[in-house]
Structure 1
Amino acid sequence: MKLPLPLSILAAGRLPQGRFGGALAGQGAVALGEAAVRALLSDPDLPRPTRLCWGMARSHTQGMNPGRTIAVRAGLGHQVVGTTLNMACGSGMGAIFQAAQYLLLGESGPVLAGGSEAMSDNPHLMPNLRWGWRLGHQPLPDVMHQDGLLCPLTGLLMGETVEHLAKAHGITRSQADRYALESHRRAAAADFSAEHLPHPLLDRDECIRPDATLADLEALPPIFTPEGQVSAGNASALSDGAAALLLSREAGPSPLGRILGWTELALDPMEMGAAPIPAVNTLLAECGLRIRDIALWEINEAFAAQVLCCAEALDLPMDRLNSAGGAISLGHPIGASGARIVVALLHRLRQRGGGLGIATLGIGGGLGQAVLVEA
């Protein structure tokens, strides 16, 4: 939908993203969120938020309503309402939409939105232990797998649905590996200083592999089926991170950018990876725009094959898509990723002198999101 009035983005940033088991392991998603909020609001010229909307897809061990805990522990005060949204990969972007809705409905604002995920800290579960285990072996389900990567509607892992999508769209392993290599190349060459928020344990994105080669990627075996094309090298990296944005109805002295519109939609869960296609087409139609009007694009790189399917169907210019890499090279901390790609888009637009941009992603279970911003 096209917004009845643009909403200002006063500030936007993210923590450097840690690799799985890396420098941020053991911190927990609440602590990462707190660090991001504190760092973003360290500028004394920024107004204080009246509400916090936060995405987190795997909150096991993080306590009740992590968004509220983050708000209080980050020093926003007991009077600031904090909420948590679990929408899988769309949690962070969904939190932005939720914050925007509060502002459009009259919240005095500003409202802080974002998301965090500590994938390194996802626990294993012990189902049915409450009523006792009398005899025999028992499973210990991995939260990462059961509540994060497995779609209960299809019974398939996300990568398995992308294998289906790649086959239907004729995307080859070679294309996916080459795209993944380019993601690392772009990320290694990018300047993230404007979007990085400081963290005492990490000052760079740990997942980027500047020395990666095509031969390295081609040597990795398929994950899901022997004849498949999704590998550890052309899929998003498991990681830890947090991203945050401060939204307002008021422009302030120098806003970073504006939100002009967004869309959320649902489709067949087997087509999850293709959800950006109808999401983008719907958003463009509602805002009276065409592909050529958009200066830069961010499609969450859950899988290289998925991005390639969407880019081909939408006829996107590849030099304007994920210009500083994406989740393959930077990591995909699930609850934070939707917010991270909006942060990335805003800063890339400003680096090039401004313009319109769209960030979009597909979500497990068959959902799609897209947001139109201006910087």
Structure 2
Amino acid sequence: MSGVRVLVDATSVPADRGGVGRYVDGLLAALADTPDDIELFVVCQRTDAERYVALAPGAEVIAAPAAVAHRPARLAWEQTGLPLLAQQLDVDVLHSPFYSCPLRAGCPVTVTIHDATFFTEREHYDRHRGAFMRSAIKTSLRRASRIIVPSKATRDELIRLLDADAAKMDVAYHGVDPESFYIPDDAERARVAARLGLGDTGYIAFLGVMEPRKNVPNLVRGWARAVADRPNPPALVLAGGSGHDDAIDEAVAEIPAHLKVVRPGYLRFTDLPGYLGGALVAAYPSHGEGFGLPIVEAMACGAPVLTTPRLSLPEVGGDAVAYTSEEVDDIADDLAALLDDEQRRAKLSLLGVERAREFTWANSAAAHLATWRKAAGKAS
């Protein structure tokens, strides 16, 4: 079986290493362990070049022009400089990992479309960003040789909403890195709790960007109702990027003075196992996800997870997580029930660890490689 030459455009990866960063990092590291089948090229932000050289030994890493650090310049370069680079490298396939792609690439293009919530949850996105992303998704569905999605739910939504061609879509689940997300020991839990200024009353953990789709205001209100009358109420920790959800501030302002909300912003990557694994519950009552990487990472760290049965979340969580709705009263009732049932939390912790092991970057890399071979006309 002949190899395939692939250029991965990593210039869209943000500095905070959020979901798309974890996806690209995990994928490239796993591809580096794929023998013989791929000749890999990676173009990235100049600040990421050393990182990708270390992550993907054997890949040729190319630093993009410095201007692409600014989004308008990056989008312009995607349409002009990226196709030229693909031509110079004589690649079989160009892979765009974040929704958009060149209109004329000169070679087959594959695109990862992470979710369809820009269409189903329009009210939860900034108007201009939402309009751009909807246009990018429609263009990629029309122009790309093949589409990669991280869940069957996302595939089905694209078919339902946009009449996408099922025959050219492939599901490649994300993975979780067991060296980065694992069950922490007591010392690691205590270190992170101390760094966050938490006592010994425990805490509920949220990890993600503070954007409306994540439903953080209702989590704040639901948590407050669930713990307000307890003698030692657990804190709520909202970790992640600030996003654009002003309603979070309003919800936090409403909580009683004896309750504690901690908003540390981005946590150090090395603190995430201690943070997630040290939580009484990892709560993620999202309106919908294309995959739900934070719940898999929380499960891998041994955290009992409370989430919603929306879109891909039950596909990923299965029977290893607890479910609630997006509404405040349901979040309050279901969170309280979990806090009162230590035995159930322990069972969910064990089930979650086992479930998380099913999602590996090696499997994801194999699925991507199969897609690229199809796009290049080199499928076996």
TM over 0.5, shorter chain? no
- The structure in which a higher percent of residues are strand is 1
- Relative contact order, higher structure (CA 8 A, sep 6+): 1
**TM-score scaled to structure 2, two decimals?**
0.28
- The structure in which a higher percent of residues are helix is 2
